[in-house]
Amino acid sequence: MTAHNFNAGPAALPAPVLERVRAELLDYRGRGMSVMEMSHRSKEFEEVNADAEARFKRLAGVGDGWRVLFLQGGASTQFAMIPMNLVPRGRHADMIVTGAWGEKAHDEAVLLCGSRVAASTKEGGYRRVPRRAEITLSPDAAYVHLTTNETIHGVQWHDVPDMGGVPLIADMSSDVFCRPLDAARFSLIYAGAQKNLGPSGVTVVMLRESLIASANKDVPTMLRYSTHAKNNSLYNTPPAFAVYVLGLVLKWLEDGGGLGVMQAFNEEKASLLYSTIDESAGYFTGHAEKGSRSIMNVTFRLPDEAKEKAFLAEAVAAGMVGLAGHRSVGGCRASIYNAVPLASVQALASLMREFSRRG
Ligand code: PMP
């Protein structure tokens, strides 16, 4: 039986993608082996790599002037690579912190350059994104960094404010391609693949070529964007199998009608859970304020920890996996990324209704 997979990442992959991987596992297109076993210098893999890059650019709606890189080290390595490459000596980054991941990005930038908190919603317990008036930008910042979706707190930006002329950088690890992307607003976006894009092991960085050209030169080779851009992400041995599966996930997104269709589907799933919370007469409490609710990670609490424990146990018995909140905040979290089917969300919503009726 297939599990109802609410894992936060690694997370559910689309069933048609897994079926395709299975079909090609012992014999990729007549080559007599899997993509895992091929040289990354082969014509076959170069095609896989180029196809994934082209699909990412098409879905993001960008053309020349942008590069898509497939890197390793997770989004966590980007917390360091971004300041190392893009903050000139003596300058600083402005950080907007709306949850645990933004905090980590800020902490890392502090180690490497000046890093200034331009806004933080920590005081209220990370329940919302800041209003524009609460963001104090400094005109000489090298860039502004924000996290479009805070995976642990379930807080998402739905309308990114104008940052003036300062380049905007976004960690989109847990909501990339959950809806159409207005790339013109950004200078660099990045995402670990293991939530909306594919298996873990590959991190996508999409950035403007102009940033690569003006980046700091005194950066170790593997941590320089220019190294990977010059070599089409094939400077060293890439996470070949992860890039192959990522390409299949992007194909699934395109074949399914693209990001507008995906957004409608994700909103349908999220509103099913949020309406279950709102109609529970206070039995369930959503963590995020309504205007900042994530359509990817739905975070909520029950009346007390004993009930949360009992609810999570019933969920497991009903085949639902991954619903415990992150260990740092507790409670419950349903991660409902692109590949999570409506049927899983319906099953969860009805368990929530039934459990709350019992009291
Ligand atoms: N940013 C966000 C928003 C995340 O959710 C995560 C992982 N959960 C990370 C960064 C860190 O990603 P990685 O584990 O790929 O380093």
Known active-site residue 171:
yes
How does pLDDT run across 298-309, given as a tens digit for each residue?
Answer: 999 999 999 999
Range from 219-228, 304-313, 321-330 carrying the lowest mean pLDDT: 321-330
* Residue 322 beta carbon below 6 angstroms from any ligand 1 atom: no
pLDDT at 143: 97
- Distance from C-alpha of 69 to C-alpha of 82, rounded to nearest angstrom: 13
The alpha carbon of 101 and the centre of ligand 1 are apart by a number of angstroms equal to 7
Known active-site residue 101:
yes
pLDDT at 139: 87
pLDDT at 164: 86
How does pLDDT run across 66-110, given as a tens digit for each residue?
Answer: 999 999 999 999 999 999 999 999 999 999 999 999 999 999 999
How does pLDDT run across 3-45, given as a tens digit for each residue?
Answer: 999 999 999 999 999 999 999 999 999 999 999 999 999 999 9
Alpha-helical (H) ranges within 87-202 are: 100-112
Out of 57, 66, 175, 195, which one is annotated catalytic?
195
* Residue 74 beta carbon below 6 angstroms from any ligand 1 atom: yes
Q: Whose CA is nearest to atom 2 of ligand 1?
A: 173
Q: Whose CA is nearest to atom 3 of ligand 1?
A: 173
From 262, 76, 229, 95, select the one nearest 169 (Cα to Cα).
95
Q: Which residue do the tokens 């009291």 mark?
A: 359
Which pTM does this prediction carry?
Answer: 0.98
pLDDT at 40: 97
Q: Which amino acid, one-letter code, is at 234?
A: L
Going along the chain from its start, the domains and CATH numbers come out as 15-255 (3.40.640.10), 257-358 (3.90.1150.10)
From 296, 201, 218, 229, select the one nearest 69 (Cα to Cα).
229
For ligand 1, what atom is nearest to the CA of residue 152? 5
Top mutation candidate among 79, 82, 98, 101 for ligand 1, by most atoms within 8 Å of CB = 101
For ligand 1, what atom is nearest to the CA of residue 200? 15
Q: Are 277 and 230 in contact (CB under 8 A)?
A: no
Q: What percent of the chain has pLDDT over 90?
A: 96
